[in-house]
Chains A and B, each alone.
Chain A
Amino acid sequence: MITQVENPILEIHDLTVSYDQNPVLWNVDLSLPAGNLVGILGPNGAGKSTLIKSIMGLIPPTSGYVKIFDKPLNDVRARISYVPQRESVDWNFPASVLDVVMMGTYGKLGLFRRPGKKEKDLAMRSLEQVGMTGFAKRQISELSGGQQQRVFIARALAQEADLYLMDEPFAGVDMATETAIFQLLKDMASAGKTVIVVHHDIHSAMNFFDWLIMLNLHLVASGPKETVMNEEMLRKTYGGKLNLLTRVTDLIRQKDFNPLKG
């Protein structure tokens, strides 16, 4: 059940991704319309983070390509914002909340230029949008999980992008924060931005997203929520890994040589 669209904001063409010799995503082929709140669903180890990391060019694809706004990634980086998983950084790093949010302005600043008043104002406005103005001067290790997540989202907002890719922004977040963040993302989508979110909770996914991508090492479904949220798709996504596929993956790993590369 894969719905392709005309004039997609994001086009993924036959993307296969491997870690070392180990294929973790097989032939993903999809396209997304603009102005949607898109959820990426799937069980643990389904390749959800891998998909958005390879969209961002953080992992080189084994084969296939990605086009964003009909252009290669490097031409449009300034219009894309990426929110990594919260655990991917060391929160004991000596920095204030404002320092981290300011990093969102680095991309437009370019190398070796220092952020000034304009960047600081932008960072403060971004903090305000996630309701963290009062924490600007706080040391980042003093924040709760949900607050750290909001700092990361504020940093993404400071990038002033058109496409947002967020890796598990709701992990370790309390209900009140989750609702507040979702409302913010919805507002962004209605303002014409596209927000793609890796998410793990099917229940809240039903309520919040317009478009769903379901993964389980391969692409199970991609389409408007109403068309893909059904029992068959859920079973294909969460009903365990395809046995044969896993066997082939094991075989490739044992050979220590990836025939998919080339």
Chain B
Amino acid sequence: MEDFVYFFTFQDPSIAWVVLGITLLGVGSAYVGTFSFLDKKALLGDAISHAVLPGICLGFVLAGEKNPVYIVTGAFLSGAVATFLSSWLKRNTKLSEDTIIATILSVFFGFGIVLLTALQKSGNPEVAGLNSFIFGNAIGISESDLLLYGGLALAIILVLTVALKEFRLMVFDPEFGKAIGFPMKAITFLFNVLMILAVVIGIQAIGVVLMAALLITPGAAARFWTDRLNPLLILAAFFSVVSGILGTYVSFVIPQMPTGPWVVVFLSLFAVVSFLVSPKSGMLFRYFARKKYLTKTHREHLLKALYKAKENGRPGLTIDEIYELYPFQKPETKQSITDLEKLNFIDKNQQIIDLTSKGVTEAMRVVRLHRLWELYLNESMNIAPDHVHDSAEQLEHLITPELEAMLEQRFNFPALDPHQEPIPRPEKK
């Protein structure tokens, strides 16, 4: 608790700096990542982030120490070579994109690990710090490094904000962009540069192995909540920043704990929660929507059964008869009876269940839709009368009043369905 207060009150200026840096990094990488996620290029980010490792090592060798400018430049160039190579291979060979990306990722990363191991054997005491580039160490970043990483992040955010319209076009309809004379090749090139930069700024805080997660996961999680680009970008940035700060906090509290994995843990939490509970596209919402629909279906079938009993001149059905209609669904049937009673659609008189006048109108509506749909299948789609029942049984719950009106008009308020049963309508007053 003491640590928590100490960390989040930012009394320590170095913590305040790190949090500011992580915030900029989070916003920048979430922005770029969301675009590449929408452009279905998520894997490219992963390849680039692994591919910057050899550049980091070479930068270190050239500088002879952990000089951030050398390392960032090395990482950027190495990422650029990987990006260029992947698009060159795509244009000039018949290899599929995933093969190219997998190859580039493993070759570059393997080479980087070889360099790293060789460096570690060299006995240079500064090498120890290089390990943090694998899984990241946000707390260990010095203020001068932060200035470089934060400055780059700020540049990314600015460029993306200014060229939002161009990047929107690049992802949604690049052909159209070309047709109106926009330099789409240059725009794509600029985006690739931003993408590599977004990876580079995260190498020290998050590490090369997990940087792709910080690019892609925020956008993917935020996509569950919104259908518009601007809110999507803002929400993705929010997820990314919060995860970044929490991950930094954990690596602050527990000595030797790398930051990257914890940032990914928090990001994944956001993603899982979004996947489960977001409205419309979330799992739980869809589960309950489906359940609600099935309950409604069952209720309407029950109403129909009661209506048909009435047509046959019976004063309702007994509870046992109703249970027998749906032999393996006793709990559902019981629930439907309770619901229908609450809706005032049915009356329970001792053991006999009958429709109320409100219930008759509702049951009539379902029966009418059923028979109208049967008529439509038979008349307009040439399906034999003995083949139309099953389809109607499912679609009667779906047909909207608008479609109903269209059906009625098409057949001019028909009296009989293909089985010569009457299509019921409430009497006009």
Which residues of A are at the interface with B, using a C-beta cutoff of 8 A? 53, 56-58, 74, 77-78, 80, 82, 84, 88-90, 93-96, 99-100, 103, 106-107, 109, 111-112, 114-115, 139, 141, 155, 159
Contact = CB atoms under 8 A, between A and B. Distances in A.
A53 B179 CA distance: 9
Given A58-B175, A111-B182, A112-B165, 20 more contacts: A56-B178, A56-B179, A80-B179, A82-B175, A82-B176, A84-B175, A89-B172, A93-B38, A94-B229, A95-B172, A95-B228, A96-B228, A99-B229, A106-B169, A106-B180, A107-B181, A107-B182, A111-B163, A112-B162, A139-B227
Given A94-B228, A94-B229, A58 B178 contact: yes
A103 B228 contact: no
A90 B172 contact: yes
6 contacts: A84-B175, A93-B171, A95-B229, A103-B176, A112-B163, A159-B180
A94 B182 contact: no
Nearest to B219: A94
Q: State the main secondary structure of chain B at its contact with A.
A: helix
Main secondary structure of the interface of A (DSSP, over half): mixed
A111 B229 contact: no
A94 B169 contact: no
A115 B162 CA distance: 12
Given A84-B173, A89-B173, A94-B38, A77 B180 contact: yes
A209 B212 CA distance: 53
Contacts of A100: 172
Contacts of B178: 56-58
B341 interface: no
Interface in B32-65: 38, 40
B228 A74 contact: no
Contacts of B165: 106, 109, 112, 114-115
Contact of B169 (A103, A141, A159): A103
Contacts of B180: 77, 82, 106-107, 159
B179 A58 contact: yes
A126 to B, nearest CB: 15
B361 interface: no
Contacts of A141: 227
Nearest to A85: B175
B370 interface: no
Contact of A103 (B163, B173, B227): B173
Nearest to A139: B227
B232 interface: yes
Contacts of B362: none
B223 interface: yes
Interface string B123-165: 0000000000000000000000000000000000000001111
Contacts of B175: 53, 58, 82, 84, 88
Interface in B201-223: 223
Contacts of B226: 94
B166 interface: yes
Contacts of B173: 84, 88-89, 103
Nearest to B229: A94
Interface in B264-287: none
Interface string B165-205: 11011011101111111110000000000000000000000
Interface in B252-311: none
A168 to B, nearest CB: 14
Q: Which of B178, B226, B227 has the most CB of A within 10 A?
A: B227
Nearest to B232: A94
Interface string B359-378: 00000000000000000000
A154 B66 CA distance: 56
B278 to A, nearest CB: 14
A35 to B, nearest CB: 22
Contacts of A78: 181
A112 B232 CA distance: 21
Nearest to A100: B172
Nearest to B164: A114
A186 B173 CA distance: 27
Contacts of A111: 163, 166, 182-183
A2 to B, nearest CB: 27
Contacts of B227: 94, 96, 139, 141
B229 to A, nearest CB: 5
Contacts of A159: 180
Nearest to A84: B175
A74 B181 CA distance: 7
Contacts of B169: 103, 106
